[in-house]
Amino acid sequence: MDDAPTAAHDQDNATARAVALFGVKSVHSVAFFIIQTAILYLLYAGMRGRSDRTAALAAGIALGESAIYAGNGFRCPLTGVAERLGAESGAITDIFLPKWLARNVANIYVPLLLIAIALHARNVLPRRQATHDEPAVEAGSVLATDPQDGIR
């Protein structure tokens, strides 16, 4: 008779762990989608020469995630949580991805992030250099502007 309540409790505990694991995988999958979208946007914006506030926000997301990942020994903090809830051990088992993509996430997205950073450096550095090379404008002077030069 004592085994019946224990078996029911074990079943309830297993169900709760399965629900919690599904929740961790869902949250991590959404985070993964946002981070990878940020990296792809950075790449797109860099190729288009658009280094703006949106690109800076995307860079903050991608680099923030990279810092968290590196600071945790190149292992996502959610992986340990998922494994404690019953996920199989290994890289990116706490996310809903095809296995081929899960195995190659770093191999795919790290080079893309590095290329995006290089593109934005290419876009921003000449602008900053041009700003430092421009002569100072004296108070009261009128600047001649070319209407073909749009505002950036």
Does residue 115 belong to any structural domain of this protein? yes
Question: For the chain, what is the domain count?
Answer: 1
Does residue 97 belong to any structural domain of this protein? yes
Burial of 93 (C-beta count, 10 Å sphere; 0-12/13-18/19+) = middle
CA–CA gap between residue 97 and residue 90 (Å, rounded): 13
Structural contact between residues 60 and 42, judged by C-beta atoms closer than 8 angstroms: no
The pLDDT of residue 135 is 56
Does residue 131 belong to any structural domain of this protein? no
Does residue 26 belong to any structural domain of this protein? yes
The pLDDT of residue 66 is 93
CA–CA gap between residue 68 and residue 78 (Å, rounded): 11
Range list of H helices, 49-147 = 53-71, 77-84, 99-133
Does residue 3 belong to any structural domain of this protein? no
Nearest CA-CA partner of 44 in 101, 112, 109: 112
Give the domain extent around 39: 11-126
Structural contact between residues 85 and 15, judged by C-beta atoms closer than 8 angstroms: no
The pLDDT of residue 152 is 46
Rounded to a whole number of angstroms, the distance between the first and last alpha carbons of the chain is 77
Does residue 93 belong to any structural domain of this protein? yes
Task: Encode the chain (152 residues) as per-residue pLDDT tens digits.
Answer: 555 667 676 788 888 988 998 888 888 889 999 999 999 999 999 999 999 999 999 999 999 999 999 999 988 888 888 888 887 765 555 677 887 887 788 899 999 999 999 999 999 987 777 666 655 555 554 444 545 554 44
Does residue 82 belong to any structural domain of this protein? yes
Does residue 80 belong to any structural domain of this protein? yes
| Total number of residues shown for the chain | 152
